[in-house]
Structure 1
Amino acid sequence: MKDLFYYVNSTMKEFTAQVVCTGIDKERPYVVLSNTAFYPTGGGQPHDTGWINNVPVVDVEKVNDEIRHYIDGPTNSVNGEVHGKLNWERRFDHMQQHCGQHILTAAFVELFDFATVSFHLGSELVTIDLNTNAITEEQLALAEQRANEIILENRPVETKWITKDELSQYPLRKDVAVEDDIRLVIIPDFDYNGCGGTHPPSTGQVSALKIMGTEKMKKNIRVHFVCGQRVLDQLDMRKKVLSDVSRQLSVPEEYSGEALRKVLTDVKKVEKALDEAQNVLLQVEAKELFEKSVSGIVAVTFENRTIQTLQKLGRAIVALHSEVIALLVADNGDKLQFIAARGENQEKSMKELSNAVLPLINGKGGGSDSFAQGGGEKLLAATELLEHMKKHFV
C-alpha cells in the first residue's frame, strides 16, 4: 500500500498505469490497475471520481487486495496502458475537509479533552461526534479559534509508515485499528494520528474552518463544520438568504434579525386575534344550528372544514343544551370526516355510533361515549353518511 500513488503523492492529478484485470460486480463494470491515484472509500473519506482514458470513473472501492475503479462504460474501452485523471476539485475538497477534521478534533482534545468518536464527510457539511453530553458556545469558539491558528501557521502535514513496535514513540491521540501497514498523519507538535486518508501537504491549504452548529446525539455532541472552499460556499449561500430577507423586510442586513423578530411577534398577535374571532364566529354558528335542530339533534354536512373545526363546533353546540346531540360531517375532497357529540344529560353512546358507521367509509376513529370522531374514504356522499348516523337514534 505504501507505493500507491495517492499515498506517495496526494497532490497527483494524473497518472499512467497498466490494466491488470477487468470485471463486473453486480452489473457494474470495473477496472483494476497496476497503480492508482484514485482514493477508494474508507476511513470516513468518500471515493474519488475522474476518468480513465476519458471513460468516467464513478466509484472506487477496495475489495480484498484489489482497488476497483467502477466505470460508466464498457471495460473493453480500457486496456493496456491507460491514462488516469482525477476530478481534482472533488479530491482537493475531501483533502481540505479531512485535514480540517484532524485539526478540529485535536483542538477539542488539547483544550477540553473531548475525544472524537466518529467522523462523517458529507457532500455539504462535515461532522464529528464528541464524547461529551454538553458543550458551550465559548468552548466551540475557542476550539474554532485554535483550529484556525494551526491552519494559518501553515504547519507541514507529514505522513509516515511505521510498525506496531514503533507506536510507543509517538503521542497518538487514539489507538490505531490495524496491525500492519500503520500510516501516521502528523501535524508536528499538535496532532499524531493513525489515518489512511489523503491530506494536503500543509495546514495552510485547508484555508479556513468554520463551525456551523451542533446537535445532541444520544450521549454525544455532534459538531457540524466546513473547511476551505465550503466556508466560502456557505458564506455565499447565507449572504444570499440574508440579502433576500433584508430586501423583503426593507431594512439593512444588520437589522434583519431584529426586524424579523418583530414581524413574528406581530404574526403571533394576529394569529391569536384571528383564533379568538373564529371562536366567536363558531359560537354564533353553533347557536344558529341549535335553533334549527330537529328532535334535539343538530345534523349538518359541510364542505372543506377541518376535523379540528368540527370538534370546536360540536362542543359549542352541546354546551348550549344538556339534551342536544350534534352530528357533523365534512366532505373534504377525497375523504369524509365526522364528529358525534352529546349533551351532558344524554345517554346515547357516540362511540357506538362511530363504530357503526366507520365500516361504511372504510374509516378509522375513536373517542368516548360523550364525544367521538372519525374519517375515511369517500365511498358515499356526506348526506348519505349523515343519514346513517341519524338512523342510530331512531
Structure 2
Amino acid sequence: MAFQCQRECYLKEFVTSVVSCSPAELKREINGKKETLKGFNVKLQDTILFPEGGGQPDDHGLIGDVQALRVTRQGPDAIHFVCSSLEKGQEVLVKVDWERRFDHMQQHSGQHLITALAETMFGYKTTSWELGRQRSTIELDTPCVKPAQLQELEEAINEKIRAHVPVTVQLLSIDDPAVEKVRSRGLPDDHAGPIRIIDIEGIDANMCCGTHVSNLGHLQMIKLLGTEKGKKNKTNLIFLAGNRVLKYAEKSFSTERSLVSLLKTGPDEHVEAVDKLQKSAKLLQKTNLSLLRDMAVLIAQSFKNDPQRGNFFSFYKKEGDNEFMNIIANEINTEETLVFLTVGEEKGPGLFLLAGPSQTVTEMGPRVLELLQGKGAGKNGRFQGKANNMARRGEVEALLQQHCKQPTRGEE
C-alpha cells in the first residue's frame, strides 16, 4: 500500500487510529555510544511518518504527545517505535517534523534530477546513493568526472529548477506495461501493493518509495561540491540541495570572517597566508627537534661527567618525544645504569622510557607501567610506552631508587 506520507508529501498533520501496540526494543548509537531502549512498536491505520527506505532516512514526529523515535517498514506496514504505550483503537493526531521531512524531500528529488541528467548528458549511470546528515552522495558508474562536465551538469540542473518543472506521483499495478519503461534498480523482496513512479516531467520517470517535492522549483538550488574516488572504478558525486545550500553558505561566510580576523588578510589571500604559516611552522618544528636532540646529548653528557653519579638516573621534561628519550638512553651506558625518562604533561598523559640492565628492566617494567596506568612493552633492556597518570612519576622514581640502593636524580 502507499502510505499517506507518500500520497500527500506536504501533509504536516494527520488524524488516524492505533491498530496495535506491542513491547519492543530499539538499538541505536548516539555520539559513538550504543544503547538499547525499551519501548513499543506501534502500527497505525495509516501514517504521514515515512518509514526508512529507498535510500531515504525515516521521518521523526509525534503520535499524540509521544515522540516517534524510529519508523521502519515491514511488508505493507509502517512500524513506529515509541517509549510510551498507546491504546489499541485510540484516535491520535500524528505530526511530522517538517524541517527534517522537507530537507529529505529536497535531497531525494535533487538526487533524481542529478541522476537523470548525468545519465542523459554523459551516460553516467547511478549505482547507489546516500542521503547524509550534512551532504549527500551519488555513486556514478564512471572512474572520473571532469571539472568541465561537473560545471555543465550543475548549470543544466539549476536551469531545470528555474523552469519550475512539475513532479508527479503515479501508482501503477505491477503488471502495467508502463512499469517496464521507467528507470529502476529493482523492487525489494517484501514489496507489496502498487508500483510508485516519481515522474519529473520530460526528464525522468523512476520507481521510488520516498517523499518528493511537487515541483523542481521547490528545490531552490543545487550545488555540486565535487567528486571523490569511489570503489571499483566508480566516482562519488557530492551535492547539496535547497536549504542545505543556504546553511552551507552561511557557515562558509562565518568561517571566512573568523579567518579574516585570525589571519589579518582578506578572503582572497587566505590560502597564501595559511601556506606561509604552514611553512613557518614546519621550519620552527625542525629547529625545535634539532635543539631537543642537542639538549638530549648534553643532558646525558652532564650525567656522565658527574663524579658523584650513581647507577640510577631520572629525568623529566614536558616537551619531548620518544626520540628525545632514546638519545639520552643511547648516550648513557645503560648496561650499568638504570635510566627512567618521562616527557609530557606533569600530572596528565605522557611517554616514558625505562632502560638499563635487562634483568632489572624486565622485573621493574611492569611495575612502572602499573603505577603510571599506561600501556607499553619492552625487550633487550628497554621498556617504554604511554603513561596516563604522570602525577605518580615520583612514586616510580622512589621505587627505582630503592631498587638501585643509590638515589641520584636530575630534573629540569
TM-score by length of 2: 0.78
Q: How far does residue 249 in structure 1 lie from its aligned partner after superposition?
A: 1.4
Which stretch shifts more, 173-182 or 301-310?
173-182
Q: Does 1:229 align with 2:243?
A: yes
Q: Match for 2:138: what amino acid?
A: I
Matched residues in 2 for 1:118 and 1:244: separation?
37
Residue in structure 1 matched with residue 253 of structure 2 by the alignment: 239
Q: What code does the residue aligned with 2:342 have? A: A
User: What is the aligned counterpart of 2:103 among 93, 100, 116?
Assistant: 93
Alignment correspondent of 1:200: 213
Where in structure 2 are the equivalents of 1:361-380 lying within 5 Å?
361=368, 362=370, 364-368=376-380, 372-375=382-385, 380=395
Change in CA separation of 1:28 and 1:303 when aligned onto 2, cut-off 3 Å: same
Query: Against the structure 1 CA distance between its residues 171 and 65, is the aligned structure 2 distance closer, same or farther, given a 3 Å change threshold?
Result: closer
- Please point out which of 242, 255, 264 is paired with 2:278: 264
C-alpha distance 293-242 of structure 1, shift in aligned 2 (>3 A): farther
Name the structure 1 match of 2:314: 301
- Distance in 2, matches of 1:390 and 1:227, equals 73
The answer on 1:9 being equivalent to 2:16 is: no
1:252 is aligned to 2:266: yes
The residue identity in structure 2 corresponding to 1:105 is T
SS of 1:75's equivalent in the other structure is: coil
Pair 1:116-2:131 in alignment:
no
Asked if 1 retains the 8 angstrom alpha-carbon contact of 2:321 and 2:351, the reply is no
Give 1:31 shift.
Answer: 3.5
Deviations 1:334-383 (A, max 9, x none): 78822437xxxxxxxx65553333233356323557xx342478595224
Shift of 1:198: 0.7
Gaps of 5+ in 1: 342-349
Q: Distance in 1 between matches of 2:223 and 2:152?
A: 12
Q: Given the superposition, is the C-alpha separation of residues 301 and 264 from structure 1 closer, same or farther in structure 2, using an over 3 Å criterion?
A: same
Q: CA deviation at 1:218?
A: 3.7
Q: Percent identity?
A: 26
Tell me the TM-score normalised to structure 1 length: 0.81
Residue 301 of structure 1, CA deviation: 0.7
Q: How far apart in 1 are the matches of 2:314 and 2:334?
A: 22
Q: Which amino acid aligns with 1:115?
A: K
Q: CA deviation at 1:80?
A: 4.0
Q: From 334, 353, 358, give the equivalent of 1:338.
A: 353
User: Which structure is richer in relative contact order (CA contacts within 8 A, separation 6 or more)?
Assistant: 2
Q: Deviations over 1:7-30 (max 9, x none)?
A: 222212222223333333233234
Q: Could you tell me whether the CA contact under 8 Å between 1:50 and 1:86 is conserved in 2?
A: yes
Corresponding residue of 2:341: 329
Q: SS at 1:200's partner residue?
A: coil
Question: Which is worse superposed, 29-38 or 169-178?
Answer: 169-178
Q: Select between 255-264 and 144-153 the one with higher mean Cα deviation.
A: 144-153
- Residue 396 of structure 2 is matched in structure 1 by 381
Q: Does structure 2 conserve the Cα–Cα contact (< 8 Å) formed by 1:351 and 1:366?
A: no
d(CA) in 2 for partners of 1:61 and 1:299?
A: 67
8 A contact 1:293–1:299 mirrored in 2: no
Find the counterpart in structure 2 of residue 70 from structure 1.
Answer: 81
Shift of 1:270: 2.0
AA at the equivalent of 2:365 = L
CA distance in 2, matches of 1:55, 1:88: 16
5+ long unaligned stretches in structure 2: 26-37, 407-412
Which among 344, 356, 361 is matched to residue 354 of structure 1? 361
Amino acid at match of 1:108: A
Distance 1:328 1:134, change over 3 A: farther
| 1:381 match: secondary structure | helix
CA contact (8 A) 2:39 2:85 kept: no
Contact 1:115 1:130 in 2 (8 A): yes
For the 8 Å contact 2:128–2:138, the answer to whether it is kept is yes
CA distance in 1, matches of 2:308, 2:226: 61
Residue range with higher mean Cα deviation, 43-52 or 165-174? 165-174
**Alignment coverage as a number of residue pairs:** 375
In structure 2, relative to structure 1, the CA distance for the partners of 1:143 and 1:33 (3 Å cut) is same
Looking at structure 1, the residues matched to 21 and 188 of structure 2 have their Cα atoms a distance apart, in angstroms, of: 31
Q: Does 1:160 align with 2:170?
A: yes
- 1:218-272: CA deviation from partner (whole Å, max 9, x where unpaired): 4343333221111111111111111101111122222222222222222222222
Deviation readout 1:189-243 (Å, 9 max, x if unpaired): 3323211101011111111112335444443433332211111111111111111
- 2:409 corresponds in structure 1 to none
3-state DSSP of counterpart to 2:69: strand
In 1, Cα distance between equivalents of 2:155 and 2:266 = 29
Q: 1:164 Cα deviation (Å)?
A: 4.2
